[in-house]
Structures are given as C-alpha cells and as structure tokens.
Amino acid sequence: MRRAVCPGSFDPITNGHLDIVARASKLYDVVHVAVMINKSKQGLFSVEERIALIEECTSGYGNVVVEAFHGLLVDYCKQRDIPAIVKGLRAVSDFDYELQMAQMNNGLSGVETMFIPTNPVYSFLSSSLVKEVAAWGGDVSHLVPEPVLRVLGERLAQR
C-alpha cells in the first residue's frame, strides 16, 4: 500500500492545501493529513476544529486520514510506516526552505519528500493571508472551502 503524509498547521485549510491533498490522493493509496501541533502558537482554530474541518472537506476523497501530531514529522512517519512526505511549492522561496527540510528528514529517517507545484491559481495563498483579508472584511470565498468560510467569519467576529 502506497502511503504519504501532507503535513501542516492548516489554520485554516485553504483551497491551495486541498488542491495538494486531492492531487496526492490520486497518487497514493492512503494520504495522511497531519495537523502539526505547535504549542507556542495560538491558532485561530483549535486542533480539534481544524481536524473536523479537514475531515469534512476531504470526505469525498475516500483515502484521506486526518490526525493531529506533536513532535518531529519523521517520527509521525516512522510510527505509521509512511515513506513519503508530500509538500506543495508556491514559489522559489518555498523551495529553499522545503529542500532543507526534505534533506534533514531524509537524513534522519530515510523518508522521501515529494514536491508538487501549486496550481498557479493558488500560488499566493496562505492561511495567514486568508485570516488577514477576512479580518478586514475581504471576500475569501474563492480561497477557502465552504465549511471553512462558514466558520471563519463567525470566529473572526468573536475576536
């Protein structure tokens, strides 16, 4: 069984993230979406909320498993016998950082990293940008899936 992981904080998941997960789900039998926990960062959504949103948004794929994880990504991969990490690349600046991470991960555990170029429609997109635009009342309906759009406005109004 071919398995891979798509890691991230997904606070919140965007259409760019979903594009990478969808494309990975066509290449692998099982795609794990690892919601990485960073205790030093306060997210807009709790980890449990992120997992629920990702599960809702990926339910149609049929081969996606969503879990939280705290620690090194290579440990997540070792514990689940996952040989590949799938990462989306938006720009050359992403490649510089991601190449270093890929080489470190491979050196630590032998896990390979597969890079998928982002769809040009989403080349500028990040969760941070979505939150900032939405906080100022901008329309992000074309940047996030409907379940995220539904709760994003409510959450920002509470702040």
Place of tokens 């959504």: 45
Q: Which of 50, 87, 127, 131 is catalytic?
A: 127
17 is catalytic: yes
Number of C-beta neighbours around residue 66 at 10 A: 23
> Catalytic: which of 26, 39, 41, 159?
41
- Single out the catalytic residue among 17, 32, 50, 131: 17
Reply yes or no on whether 80 is catalytic: no
For residue 20, give the amino acid letter. Answer: I
Q: Cβ contacts of residue 32 below 8 Å, gap of 6+?
A: 3, 4, 5, 6, 64, 65, 66, 67, 76, 80, 82
Single out the catalytic residue among 23, 50, 87, 90: 90
* 70 among known catalytic residues: no
Residue 41: active-site member: yes
Active site residues: 17, 41, 90, 127
